[in-house]
Structure 1
Amino acid sequence: MDLQLQGKAVLVMAASKGLGRAVATEFSREGARVMIASRSSERLEQTAAEIRSLTGGEVEVCAADVSKKEDLVLLFERLKERFGGLDVLVTNAGGPPVGKFDDLSDEQWEQAFHSNLLSVVRTIRGALPLLRANGGGRILNIASTSVKQPIEGLLLSNTFRAGILGLAKSLATELAPDNILINTIAPGRIATDRVRELDEQRAGAIGSTLEAVREGHEKNIPLGRYGTPEEFARMVVFMGSGANSYVTGSAVLVDGGMVRAL
């Protein structure tokens, strides 16, 4: 299948590691020109070099804190300077802290709002003029299976990831006349550092081991295992490609069948 990504300009947020890195790598494999962004310049440069080595593709970098409006303004200026336009935007941000309602302060709520929801709003806002100038494009929002089924202990994530889905559902109608398709991609138990950290915290809270916690989760996944970042990334790349020409406003779960909600 021709994904029609050769030479396309792609921006992937929070891409120095984890799911963002995997997504950037797969877009580069398909011949896209990729810009990766995250807070750490040093880590970005290292990641870009490693992706170039793997794919032989063009990979640019720009350090940006997604919670800071001024950083995002500079990011899109650099993107336009380097690529001249944009075809695909992948929004992404690190998960907020674990916590139940009584444990979370106003400051933590505000930080999670800025990092995990308002950052998506601002990134899409910055991308739209470039996508429209190109005659259309794709927006993929990386969220979580919590958009369909809340995850215990992740109240902040449950709240703001759901907001991302509501945003995308609404924008699907508004952006369709511009030939811009927007979808939410929801990872389940994917083997990343973030998921390992959550499993370790869970193990400590219940006095168990990391292995036991993981085995407990795997029992609730029909495929019987955690997914790999590469498996997740391939779905994002397909949804962001020209091969996807008729899916917009959807939430696609990449979770091995874990979520049972209709």
Structure 2
Amino acid sequence: MDLGINGKVALVLGAGGGLGGAIARELAGEGAGVVVADIDGDAAGATVAAIEATGGSARAVEAWDLGDLSLVESRISDIEQREGGVDILVNNTGGPPPSPVSGQPAEVWQQHFGSMVLSVVAITDRVLPGMIDRGWGRIVTSTSSGVISPIPNLGLSNALRTSLLGWSKTLAGEVARYGVTSNIVLPGRISTGRIQFLDEAKARREDRPVAEVTAESLAAIPAGRYGEPREYGQTVAFLASAAAGYITGSVVRVDGGYISSI
């Protein structure tokens, strides 16, 4: 299927990581010119190199700490001057450390709210006018399965990412008439460094072998395996495509059946 995004400009946040990198590679594979953003400049460069090695087009922006909202204007202006307006925005932020939801200092909430929520809102607001003017745009926001079924000991993530669902759904209703869509994608257990880190943290917390924790997780997934990052990336690429123009305000699970609720 031709996804109809050849020549479109895609900005992928957190594209130096497992999920973000996979999304960037899939979009580039469909012919989009990908702008790679990450707080880790070396990781962003590695994603660009992987894309270029397969004939795709990509560029890394200067290391971007999403928690610093003062950088939004300069980073987006640079992209507009060099690549043109952003047609596809993939909001993908890093997760906070494991923690209970109770007893967290206010400054911790403020820090992660800024990097995980306010950054997404600010960057989206900055690129939206251009999308509206062109009559075409795709906003895809990656969250977590914890927004549907809260994950124990990921209290900050569960709470903060859930706010993005209400934001994305409301935004979808506001911009659909302009040819702009807004959707949420949430991963189940996708085989990335983040999932390995969480498995290891749980094993330490419960004084159990990592292999036992992983086997327990696998047993809870009907598909019987962790997802591949490329499978997640392919889902995002479809939602960013011309073919998905009538899909907006949705929450799409990529979880192998892991989330049991309807």
* TM-score category, normalised to shorter length: over 0.9
The CA deviation at 1:163 is: 0.4
Percent identity between the two aligned chains: 39
| Cα distance per residue 1:219-242 (max 9 Å; x no partner) | 110001100100110000001100
**Alpha-carbon distance in structure 2 between the residues aligned to 1:232 and 1:26:** 9
**Alpha-carbon distance in structure 2 between the residues aligned to 1:206 and 1:7:** 49
Over 3 Å off, 4+ runs: none
5+ residue gaps in structure 2? none
Aligned to 1:180: 180
Aligned partner of 1:216: which letter?
Answer: E
**Alpha-carbon distance in structure 2 between the residues aligned to 1:102 and 1:157:** 13
Could you tell me the TM-score, scaled by structure 2's length? 0.97
Aligned to 2:109: 109
The CA deviation at 1:41 is: 2.2
The CA deviation at 1:215 is: 0.7
Aligned partner of 2:60: which letter?
Answer: V
Q: Is the CA contact 2:179–2:245 (under 8 Å) kept in the aligned structure 1? A: no
Aligned partner of 1:88: which letter?
Answer: I
Q: Is the CA contact 1:72–1:123 (under 8 Å) kept in the aligned structure 2? A: yes
CA RMSD across the alignment:
1.1
| Cα distance per residue 1:17-51 (max 9 Å; x no partner) | 21000000000111110001011223322321222
Aligned to 1:234: 234
5+ residue gaps in structure 1? none
The within-5 A match list for 1:1-262 is 1-53=1-53, 55-62=54-61, 63-262=63-262
| Cα distance per residue 1:164-220 (max 9 Å; x no partner) | 111001111101121110000000100111111011000001111111111101111
**Alpha-carbon distance in structure 2 between the residues aligned to 1:242 and 1:250:** 16
**Alpha-carbon distance in structure 2 between the residues aligned to 1:41 and 1:81:** 21
Which range is displaced more, 215-224 or 78-87? Answer: 78-87
CA change 1:207–1:103 in 2 (3 A) is farther
Aligned partner of 2:169: which letter?
Answer: K
CA change 1:244–1:208 in 2 (3 A) is same
